[in-house]
Structure 1
Amino acid sequence: MNRTMMTATNTLNQLQSKIDQISNNIANVDTNAYKKTQTSFNDLLTQSFNNQPNESKEKGRLTAPGIRQGTGAMLSQSQLVLSQGAIKTTDRNLDAALTKEDQFFTVSVQDGKGVNTRLTRDGAFYLSPNANDPDQMILVTSAGHKVLDENGEPILIAGNITDIKITEDGVLKVETEENGEESFGLGIVSVKKPQFLDRLGGNLLGLPENINRLDVNVDDIMTALTGASRNQIAVRQGALESSNVDLSKEMSDLINVQRSYQFQSRSITMADQMSGLINGIR
């Protein structure tokens, strides 16, 4: 395999990853509070050949001296974009939209890795009967995950509910016939370093499994908004946040990547034809 083929093959693999990332963004254009991912490219190892030992003959040259030959391109960064999505009004009491882009609700998720705390901005909440006590209702997400309070505990409500309010500082106020008004502080965290979070499917984010081996503290990545810091919370009841995916931009990016993919494929074809001509020389 000649160098042209190797360079094109390396780049094709990375372009396919870019296409997958764009496709995932497009597929979630209507997902509540979905945050898009952006990737950027960088050169792989580049060799430089000094073909002009006499620098005096290079006067007036605007580019770097020598000849550079690369080995392809690679995805250098995949970044989670936390820009605010559009807020759509639903007038539903259990819908809550976070209006600060760095804040996330905390939920409890049980999967093959056990019970773990995950993050989401999807505030479409529901009340579901508690399996351990039929007389109680538990606050869950649309996927059935338990919504946590500021102490990391599920929100349990007993009695016949007559009214539900969610205040701007993230307090769920529930009025029941038996117990009057009860208040629950929704568990909300502020994320400062989203690049350390992993996508876990189902519109959920979480800390990576190797967090202990990374040179970073969890408190540097995100901070729980409790106590006096709860005045930083910004929640709007009766509304949901839309995805921050710009469909027109994603389609434009997809076309550009497909053109690059076609160019690299054509390079492999041309290199194969050139090899055939050389091998055919008698």
Structure 2
Amino acid sequence: MPTAALHVARTGLDAQGARMRVIANNLANVGTTGFKRDRANFATLAYQDARVAGQQSSTETAYATGLNLGSGVSVQSTTRIETQGVLQTTGNSLDLALDGDGYFQIQLPGGKLGYTRAGNFSRSAEGQLVTSQGYQVLPPIQIPEGTTQVTISDDGIVSASIAGQTEAQQLGQLSIASFANPAGLQASSNNFMLETGASGVAQLGVAGENGRGHIKQGMLEGSNVNIVQELVDMIETQRGYEINSKMISAVDEMLRNANQTL
């Protein structure tokens, strides 16, 4: 019936609207440190089987094809694209980037643990290595007073040159978290990811070992959003939305003609 077609077209509008929101969020975060773009995944809704293939068409024959009427589409999920962003040199000794897989571990308020690729860290008033929100980087790194230079190696060893001392003092070593299924991490605000049952438990280890990326001091990882690709996806989504809108107009015209005729 035409009313069923209206419902199908409406699901198309909803799905394309959700995809446009995903694209808008990608473009909004094109300059966000360590941001990973999302992709909307679609799935068909339930089908009405008016006739099943193989069903008897007579006492001696069976239908070679079925009659299946779809009920529309929905956004099944979003997939985070984990490709590496471009590493940008900043010259700030506390800016860190991961060249490869893995996440920095952060102590969030309330005892929660967060994971991030955004390594734009700072030194707090107490000398701790923290994020821009003031959350402590784990394992804790305490930078002593009088430090003139902080050096962080590719494997995360943090050393400080202190005024009046000839040799650098080792402060600790940063650990990198890896997950069996990084796509299962829950995206949160302020560039943080949260562990879920789908992601698996965080496995902490040394940077550069067992598939974990190396730490690059004085650099930040840029967003992996490709503006050209997002614009192409945006135009495609807009066209899909327009077509579903025209479908609603066409069905409405069919119903109007039917009412006038009958």
Q: Distance in 2 between matches of 1:265 and 1:198?
A: 33
The offset of 1:25, in angstroms, is: 0.7
Q: Distance in 2 between matches of 1:51 and 1:232?
A: 51
Q: Distance in 2 between matches of 1:235 and 1:26?
A: 27
The offset of 1:19, in angstroms, is: 0.9
Partner of 2:234: 254
- CA RMSD of the aligned region, Å? 2.7
Q: 1:6-54, CA deviations, whole angstroms, 9 ceiling, x for partnerless residues?
A: 1111222122111111111111111111111112212111234439937
Partner of 2:67: 67
Partner of 2:173: 185
Partner of 2:155: 169
SS at match of 1:7: helix
SS at match of 2:108: strand
The offset of 1:57, in angstroms, is: 10
The change in CA–CA distance for 1:228 and 1:19 in structure 2 (over 3 A counts) is closer
Partner of 1:141: 131
Q: Distance in 1 between matches of 2:182 and 2:52?
A: 45
Match of 2:125 among 129, 141, 157: 129
Q: Which amino acid aligns with 2:124?
A: S
Q: Which runs of 5+ in 2 are unaligned?
A: none
Q: Which runs of 5+ in 1 are unaligned?
A: 59-63, 131-136
Which region of structure 1 is more displaced relative to structure 2, 68-77 or 179-188?
179-188
Partner of 1:16: 17
Retained in 2: the 8 A contact 1:26–1:245? yes
Retained in 2: the 8 A contact 1:159–1:178? no
The offset of 1:254, in angstroms, is: 1.0
**TM-score, normalized by length of structure 1?**
0.81
The change in CA–CA distance for 1:77 and 1:227 in structure 2 (over 3 A counts) is closer
Q: Which amino acid aligns with 1:163?
A: Q
Partner of 2:40: 39
The offset of 1:230, in angstroms, is: 8.1
Which region of structure 1 is more displaced relative to structure 2, 39-48 or 238-247?
39-48
Retained in 1: the 8 A contact 2:95–2:121? yes
Partner of 1:117: 113
Q: Which amino acid aligns with 1:218?
A: G
Q: Distance in 1 between matches of 2:257 and 2:213?
A: 68
Q: Which amino acid aligns with 2:112?
A: N
Partner of 2:254: 274
Partner of 1:104: 103
Partner of 2:184: 196
SS at match of 2:8: helix
Tell me whether 1:159 sits opposite 2:141 in the alignment: no
Retained in 2: the 8 A contact 1:159–1:177? no
Q: 1:91-125, CA deviations, whole angstroms, 9 ceiling, x for partnerless residues?
A: 2211111001x210011222xxx231101011111
Retained in 1: the 8 A contact 2:207–2:214? no
Q: Which amino acid aligns with 2:137?
A: V
The offset of 1:242, in angstroms, is: 0.9
Q: 1:204-250, CA deviations, whole angstroms, 9 ceiling, x for partnerless residues?
A: 11024xx4xxxx6833xx31115995895511111111111111111
Q: Distance in 2 between matches of 1:188 and 1:235?
A: 9
Retained in 1: the 8 A contact 2:148–2:161? yes
The offset of 1:175, in angstroms, is: 2.6
Retained in 1: the 8 A contact 2:176–2:204? yes
Q: Which amino acid aligns with 1:242?
A: G
Q: Distance in 1 between matches of 2:219 and 2:206?
A: 23
The change in CA–CA distance for 1:140 and 1:253 in structure 2 (over 3 A counts) is same
The change in CA–CA distance for 1:9 and 1:227 in structure 2 (over 3 A counts) is closer
